[in-house]
Structure formats: C-alpha cells, structure tokens
C-alpha cells in the first residue's frame, strides 16, 4: 500500500507485519515449497503472538479495531513471504473469523475467534466440493436435523489449512425441498475436528505447497445446533459478507506475492550485461519492468479504492462489483508482473537459483481460488447491469446518447 495514504498508526502496524516477515526462517519457506512442512503452525502462532491476526475485529474478541486499508497493508507484507503464507494467514483469521464475528453468537466468538487470533488454534474454510466450486450453491454436503444436533455427511476439496485446522467453517445443505431456491438451501456451521472428520493430504500442487491443502471427508459427524453460524438456510447472507475478505483479501495479498519478483528483476537488470551494455538500458527490457511497476501501482490504487468503498458502507451490489473486478484485475495483473520479471531475467530466472520460478508457480493460483476470474466477470456484469439500468440511469446528469447529429432518428435505432 502507498505509504502516503497510510496514517502513522497504519504505518506502525504495517511495520509490525514487516517484522514478522523478517522473523520467518528461510528454511521454513524452502521446506514448505518441498512439502517437508505440511502446515506452518509456528508461523501462525508467531503471527498470533504479535497480535497481527484479524486486526479489523473488535478488541473484545482479540482484534485491534483497524480498518480495511490497514488490512491491505498487512496482507501485502505477508504476501511477500510467498503466496501460501498469505493463504494460511488469511483463511482462518480473515475469512472464517470474519463470518463468525459478523454472524456468530458471542459463545462462538469466545470459543473459536479469540484463541485463533492468539495463534493457539487454526481454522479452514470449506466451500468447494469435488463436484465443483464455482456453482457453490449447488453444494451436496448435507446436514440433517436430528433434534438436538445436525448430522453432517459429504466431502470438500482443496481446503487450505485442512491439514492443520482444529475446526472448519462448513457450508452444507439443510433444505431438501426441490422447489426451494438454491440460495435458500445452505447453512454455515462451525465443525470441530473430531470423530467422523477425516483429512486427506493428497494433492501434488503446482505451487502454494505447505499450506495444508487437503480433502476433508465428513462421515456422520454430530454438529451441535449452537454451531450454526447465522440463520438456518441462511448461508447466503454469511457468504455475501465473507466474499469481501475472501476476494478483496486475496487481491491484496497477491500484490505482496508479486512484489519481490519485480524487485529481483529490477536489481538483476540493473547489473546484467548483454552486447556489452547493462540490459536495463534496452527499452525491450526496461519497458517490461515499467509495465510491471505500472500494473502493481494500479493494483494498489484499486485495492485502496475498494477498501474505502467497503469501509464507507456502499450498497452491497456496488461492493460485490468492486470486489469482483478488483479480484480479477489484481490477480491477473500480478501474474503479468511475475511473467515480465521472469522474462527480463532470462534463463536463470527459470531455475531455482532465483525464487522467481516459485513465485510464478504459487501466484498462478490467485485467479482460480476464492472464485475464478470467469466467476468474477459474471458477478461484475450482473451487478453492473443492475446498478446502471436501475438507479444510475434515472439520475445521470446528462443524456449523452442525444449528443449525435441524428440522435432522434428513432426508425434507425433497431433493437430486435
């Protein structure tokens, strides 16, 4: 995040995040990438000890009552360690706890949020199923009402932190009426790791290794009724707020993940020679660096603007659009940033002598998880048409369509 947009307090907490980044041993990064560490508990415990997890939340539950701009500054710094660090940092504290803080009871906040923010327990978010992630409301994992508890059966896949989590935020079907709208059929639950919950660590991931990404199988798991988050059949409301940290947070941390790539490329191209000249003096090289720097700055601007939109309480359809377009633009732009960085470093950039190849592999996830780019475009289009054709069209200051010579040739304006 741009320093000149941050207050002294925000800068101080950004610097705390930088201290945590310095604390991480090099070997931890290497071991995670090699799957020698399957889930970085020590990292999350340290983040919790430093009170850096969930800084947006009320102090009562362990947060620091900071805002979304501060969250952006922290997530960018954490992202510089590697995408998987930001994934595990975000999933428990930023996503799962956000849902419990906004929709859960005080009992759930006390039991599940406070210890997580202290770095003592860990959580994962379970939306995606083997049958699909984009069509989230078509989920088939089911929770049947058995009087004093729900009986949970089904499975989820690609769950970041699944390997190390003590509890899971699970979306499951509770309304089996075939005539019901899909948005009225799911409930969100907190599910403890316990009898009937099985974790399978089975993915050979391209990148983002060491984040505990797992398949979770639920077999006749008894979930107490008090563990419902929000209303029964009301998961739509929970998801509607949770998609903000999920997608805006993803965007913010992706900026951090891309940043080291362009820093490495800048240093390299300022020293490396070809044809007897420093390669940064070739426009073919320096313009690729310039493009990357421009994209990163544009990403930060967009992240900041959308963060302010959320903080100032804009109407939900506008927030959904802004968050979706921000997630798509930033994740795709940052992939281009890393692509350019590797290109200008040349062959050695493709080896493990530089971490560019790891960053390249890791960051590819950004435009797939927490909603694909295609789904982001779908939401952006949907909300834009609703917003423009609804309120905006009636309140626009001028009818620009009339500013054409033949604007009133109604017989030429054929629409079907």
Q: Point out which residues bind ligand FAD (CB under 6 A).
A: 91, 125-128, 132-134, 158-160, 205, 208, 213, 365, 368-372, 374-375, 378
* Cβ at position 315, least distance to ligand FAD in Å: 24
Between 98 and 125, name the residue whose CB sits nearer to ligand FAD. 125
Cα separations (Å) of 195 from 38, 83, 313, 344? 22, 32, 42, 52
> CA-to-CA distance for 194 and 15, rounded, in angstroms?
38
CB 370, min distance to ligand FAD, A? 6
Shortest separation between residue 84's beta carbon and ligand FAD, angstroms: 9
Taking the complex as a whole, how short is the minimal distance between the CB of residue 234 and ligand FAD, in angstroms?
18
Q: In 3-state terms, the chain is what percent helix, strand and coil (to 5)?
A: 55, 15, 30
Q: Which is nearer to ligand FAD, 162 or 260 (CB)?
A: 162
Q: Closer to ligand FAD by CB, 243 or 285: give it.
A: 243
- Residue among 161 and 260 whose Cβ is closer to ligand FAD: 161
Minimum distance, C-beta of residue 128 to ligand FAD, in the bound complex (Å):
3
Which residue is at the shortest CB distance from ligand FAD? 133
HSE (side-chain half, CA atoms, 13 Å) at 21: 21
* CB closer to ligand FAD out of 33 and 125: 125
The answer to whether the beta carbons of residues 362 and 207 sit under 8 Å apart is yes
In angstroms, what is the minimal distance from the CB of 139 to ligand FAD? Answer: 10
Angle of helix 249-269 relative to helix 316-345, nearest 10 degrees, comes to: 20
Report the distance separating Cα 344 and Cα 263, nearest Å: 12
| Pick 135 or 145: Cβ nearer ligand FAD | 135
Q: List, in sequence order, every beta strand (DSSP E) within 275-377.
A: 277-278
* CB contact at 8 A, 120 and 45: yes
Dist CA 272 CA 344 (whole Å): 10
What span, in angstroms and rounded, lies between the C-alpha atoms of 69 and 1?
8
CA angle, residues 118, 123, 125, in degrees to nearest 5: 140
Question: What is each CA distance from 303 to 5, 77, 118, in whole angstroms?
Answer: 12, 14, 27
Q: Contact at 8 Å (CB) between 85 and 265?
A: no
Task: Tell me the C-alpha distance between 344 and 288, whole Å.
Answer: 7
Q: Give the residue with the Cβ less far from ligand FAD, 210 or 349.
A: 210
**At 211, is the secondary structure helix, strand, or coil?**
coil
Q: Least distance (Å) from ligand FAD to the CB of residue 375? A: 6
Between 34 and 281, CB nearer to ligand FAD: 34
Min dist. Cβ of residue 130 to ligand FAD (A): 8
Min CB(18)–ligand FAD separation in Å = 26
Nearer to ligand FAD, 205 or 317 (CB): 205
Q: Which two tokens stand for residue 266?
A: 């800048």
């Amino acid at each position: 995040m741009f320093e000149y947009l941050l207050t002294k307090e925000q800068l101080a907490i950004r610097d705390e995040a930088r201290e945590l980044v310095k604390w991480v041993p090099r070997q931890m990064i290497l071991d995670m990438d090699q799957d020698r560490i399957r889930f970085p508990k020590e990292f999350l415990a340290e983040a919790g000890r430093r009170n850096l997890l969930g800084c947006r939340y009320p102090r009562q539950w362990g947060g620091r009552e900071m805002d979304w701009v501060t969250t952006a500054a922290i997530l960018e710094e954490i992202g510089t360690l590697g995408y998987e660090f930001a994934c595990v940092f975000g999933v428990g504290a930023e996503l799962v706890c956000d849902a419990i803080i906004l929709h859960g009871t005080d009992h759930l906040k006390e039991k599940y949020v406070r210890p997580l923010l202290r770095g003592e327990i860990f959580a994962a978010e379970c939306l995606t199923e083997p049958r699909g992630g984009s069509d989230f409301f078509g989920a088939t994992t089911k929770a049947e009402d058995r009087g004093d508890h729900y009986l949970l059966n089904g499975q989820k896949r690609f769950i970041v932190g699944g390997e190390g989590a003590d509890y899971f935020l699970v979306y499951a079907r509770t309304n089996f009426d075939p005539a019901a709208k899909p948005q009225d059929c799911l409930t969100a639950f907190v599910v403890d790791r316990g009898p009937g919950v099985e974790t399978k660590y089975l993915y050979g991931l391209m990148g983002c290794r060491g984040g505990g990404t797992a398949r979770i199988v639920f077999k006749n798991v008894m979930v107490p009724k008090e563990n419902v988050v929000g209303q029964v059949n009301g998961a739509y409301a929970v998801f509607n707020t949770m998609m903000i940290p999920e997608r805006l947070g993803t965007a913010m941390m992706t900026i951090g993940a891309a940043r080291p790539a362009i820093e490495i490329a800048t240093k390299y191209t300022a020293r490396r020679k070809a044809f007897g000249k420093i390669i940064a003096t070739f426009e073919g090289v320096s313009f690729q660096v310039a493009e990357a720097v421009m994209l990163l700055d544009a990403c930060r601007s967009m992240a900041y603007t959308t963060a302010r939109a959320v903080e100032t309480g804009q109407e939900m359809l506008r927030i959904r659009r802004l968050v979706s377009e921000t997630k798509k633009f930033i994740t795709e732009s940052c992939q281009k940033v890393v692509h350019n960085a590797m290109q200008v470093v040349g062959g050695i950039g493709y080896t493990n002598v530089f971490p560019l190849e790891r960053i390249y592999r890791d960051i590819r996830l950004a435009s797939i998880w927490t909603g694909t780019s295609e789904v982001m475009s779908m939401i952006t289009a949907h909300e834009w048409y609703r917003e423009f054709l609804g309120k905006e069209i009636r309140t626009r200051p001028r009818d620009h369509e009339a500013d054409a010579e033949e604007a009133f040739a109604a017989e030429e304006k054929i629409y079907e």
